[in-house]
Amino acid sequence: MRRRESKERVSFGMGRLFGTDGVRGVANADLTPAVALALATSAAQVLVPAGADRPRAVVGRDPRASGEMLEAAVAAGLASAGVDVLLLGVVPTPAVAFLTAELSADLGVVISASHNAMPDNGIKIFAAGGLKLDDAVEDAIESGLGLPSALPTGAGVGRITSATDSIGRYLDHLQACTPHSLAGLSIVVDCANGAAFSVAPEIYRRAGAEVVVIAGEPDGLNINDGVGSTHLDVLRAAVVAHGADLGIAHDGDADRCLAIAADGSDVDGDAILAILAVALNRTGRLHRSTVVGTVMANIGFHQAMKKAGIEVVTTGVGDRYVLEEMRTGGYSLGGEQSGHVVLADQATTGDGVLTALHLMSEVAFTGRSLADLASAVVRFPQVLINVRVGDKAAVADSASVAAAVAAAEAELAGSGRVLLRPSGTEPLVRVMVEAATAEQAQEVAGRVAAVVALA
């Protein structure tokens, strides 16, 4: 097959593209169609086995306006590398992961900036089997960006088609994974005007719940706009107003969920993870009676798991690190305080809709309220301050910051902790403090944050 050489190298200007969860930037400014096209071409060349006959990729997106533009660029990049492309349309990120595996695709691509505001967009890539990429693969993709490469011509160019049953396949999968009927439950679901707007209400109703939908009318501009898992007040008000048993909040691409109990109280990822761990352990499906969490998990979560006879393995922040630990240790459940939860026996990545189905199933099965189930996790007050910095590496090397942290930990004396964590996508250092009282946590966090700001 004749191949042509691509001579043009694209200029990116974004520094390292990959963050903790794919590539993100302001659409058409940082993340341009040229970047998307080159990224997709390089990803295909890295992830598709040499000599593969008619390799295939699936591509999905959330409903933000720039998604259509970037979808076209990604599809063009993949096709130019000889990959047949199946466009899934607007679907949750975990649906793309599922369909990558279900359809035996060589890779999957999601165009979404998750919980970020509408001007942003992003690109997430799954390898064959719907698995997230490790650092080495991301580095290989980035190294090939815009470099001259041999591309197919003629019949070797990939074809682009639109899927007709992608949502149906995913819904059937979710229905098969639902542990118990939700009959008798009344719920409110906040779809964040995002990718969950059709899937979540449909599957919750199929499972038997009475469903009220809010933020379920995406127009391309209103995704995550004051709603969703990062803005719980609207859902809280709706749960109380409707007298619902609980509320579920998704983010823009529906790979996470948080919840609101009937009394209006928040149920965060720590509590959700604890509830699911106890449920799986009761039925013998919590492998090795162990759950995987991150360093951000509240001390109260650790105490609840110890009381339940469940071990906790801790990783760095980011669902990719949770997933890596789960695969290495053969664990079946892991997640983050932010609401990313991975049920490894049924999904290859965090799935907010699947998580919600398991959470609501436990409420229905036990007959206990969500607030009662969540009360097993007695939270230590936790304060998180995002400090904008010029150089995250300088903060890590700062003697004054190290001294401030040491002094704070000595003051807490085992009744709390201090954690400094650089953001993977923004010029921020996150200062997290847990303490016996909210006042102490706020005072200590403010003091450490002030030193970080000057470093």
In the structure encoding, which two tokens stand for residue 344, read together? 């490894």
The question of whether 398 is a catalytic residue gets the answer no
Match 């999601």 to its residue by tokens: 110
Q: What are phi and psi of 336, to 5 degrees?
A: -130, 160
Q: Is 253 annotated as a binding residue?
A: yes
Q: In this structure, are residues 370 and 262 in contact, taking their beta carbons and an 8 Å threshold?
A: yes
Match 């990783």 to its residue by tokens: 315
Q: Is 114 annotated as a binding residue?
A: yes
In the structure encoding, which two tokens stand for residue 139, read together? 């580095």
Residue 254 and residue 211: Cα distance in Å, rounded?
17
Q: Is 120 annotated as a binding residue?
A: no
Catalytic residue selected from 114, 166, 229, 361: 114
Residues placed in the known binding site for Mg(2+):
114, 251, 253, 255
Catalytic residues: 114
Residues placed in the known binding site:
114, 251, 253, 255
